[in-house]
Amino acid sequence: MPDVLARQAAAQLRASFDDYNRRFRAVTQRARGRFERREWLQMQADLVERIELYDLCVAEASEALLATLRDRAGERRLWTRIKPAFEAEIAGLLDGELYQTYYNTLTRRFFKTRGVDADIEFVALRIEPTDRITHPVARHSYSVGDSLADSLDRLLEDYPFDVPYANRRDDAEALAEDLERRLAHWGERPIRAIEMLETVFYRERRAYLVGRIFGAERYAPIVIALCHCPDGGIGVDAALTERDDVAVLFGITRSYFLADFETVGDAVVFLKTLLPRKAVDEWYAMLGRLKQAKTERYRHFFRHFEQSPEVFVHAPGAKGMVMAVFTLPDYPLVFKVIRDVFAPPKTVRRQDVLAKYQLVFKHDRAGRLIDAQEFRHLRFPRSRFAPAVLEELLGGCRESVVADGDDVVLLHCYVERRLRPLNLLVTEDAAQEARRAILDYGQAIKDLAMCNVFPGDLLLKNFGVTRHGRAIFYDYDELCLVAECRFRELPTPSNEDEEMHHGAWFHVDEHDVFPEQFPVFLGLKADDRAALIAAHGEIFRADWWRGLQDRFRRGDPPEIAPYPAALRLRAN
């Protein structure tokens, strides 16, 4: 009888994931229609619905299992038999890893597991699961003859929309001319073949065709961006072939794509060939498979952790008043733990911080907010923490960290990619590099503002710089929506007493913001501050921010192109 019950539970678990996957794809499949009808707000709502779907399905599965297992639901001995029964259920499935992650989520909900329980969980820290996948993802292939434009015209024809192309042939010719010019160093007839995923990627106001181009001796990624033309119809906006540009498009500071794949692992295998240095967990995240992304990040980190002798140390940069932040020096992640008490002048509470991270998780990140993954019950040996880090965690983060014998358990933390703190770059790097970073910092504030995000605390220490030189905001405790702020000009003193008054002599409400004060507190050298104001002076004017608020109220937010303007074929 117990084995029958185990098999019944295993079959129920597989059916539950199949249902989740069907619902996930149903939401994703709306993207084409959203793009065709320009339903940008609805597309963003779909993205949030898809993010929330996993926990919803896990909750439904938990209730169903409780009804099946009754008083034996918490019996570990039974789950040691459910596990092999479930493994048999999913044997041979290409996306078996996704099923296993779903199973693990449920066992952890039932048993409140701290660390890893290999008897009832699937644990495979020493393998790269996609290495076993040889199934080819669905794609279109084109052999390029004498006319690249003809091949590109056929390519575009294979991706029809209910809204027709404005001028497909002109786009194909313009795209061919652009690619031949940029790839002239590949030799005569630089492109000999093209291979494109059948699946179209959607995000914000664009659709993307993703694939590879092959020359006689080399290959490169190609991403063709499609958008709506002002006069109607769909047109080719840009083509990305440089890996750095493609990496930014698929980067950790962007929202997830809506891209419908029947199976996911084979798509990840293909995508890895476009950017070999990009971690597999980030590809799963970009496709919206967020739990699998966490599993892969955990797998890769602990494989490294077991081989590395290094201990956790404080992350470079200024000490945070809200978060304790630590890292392994030889691994590009940071761990962020909420402190029990926040130093003045911070007035936010723990639940406020949690809410800010949820906002970022579900909001358009505009390429300027880093993706942070939330982890619970991570277990590490005490010996792997530097004394100063251990003292800080056990002394000031007791709501999030506990000691358990020779181990330390992180009850709750955020894990994100480590960036170079902007304040350190500005003081440590050459003047030219510092100036470039400062100017991109100004652009980052603009980009965030145009997606309705106000960072709150604009100090340089709250921004990091990627290897591509992009300034990224990563301190979320004071972040809010632009629409929630009241942007004001500084009042003019009416007498000497007001002018000489220490501090603000006028009333300031909680949501009041005075943009002209921003440059005063940045600590920049005079020439850097002048360059920042010359390039991005509008962000220091209250009327610019109020103008953005008017656009948000009208439902006409500005658009932020996710690639350089120089890559655009023409003004669409």
Q: Which residues are catalytic?
A: 371
Q: Give CA–CA dist 96/342, Å, rounded.
A: 43
Residue pair 173/156 in contact by the 8 Å Cβ criterion: no
Residue pair 365/371 in contact by the 8 Å Cβ criterion: yes
CA 431 to chain centroid, in Å, comes to 31
Torsions phi, psi of 166, nearest 5? -65, -45
Whole-Å CA distances, 315 to 256, 331, 332, 413: 27, 11, 11, 15
Cα–Cα nearest to 3, from 70, 66, 77:
77
- Those residues whose C-beta lies under 8 Å from the C-beta of residue 248, and which sit 6 or more positions away, are 254, 367, 468, 470, 562, 563
Residue 276, burial from CB neighbour count under 10 angstroms (0-12, 13-18, 19+)? exposed
Cα–Cα nearest to 559, from 570, 572, 540, 546:
572
With tokens 């290897």, the residue in question is 467
Most distant CA atoms of the chain, gap in Å:
89
Residue 310 gets the label, from left (phi > 0), alpha (psi -120 to 50) or beta, of beta
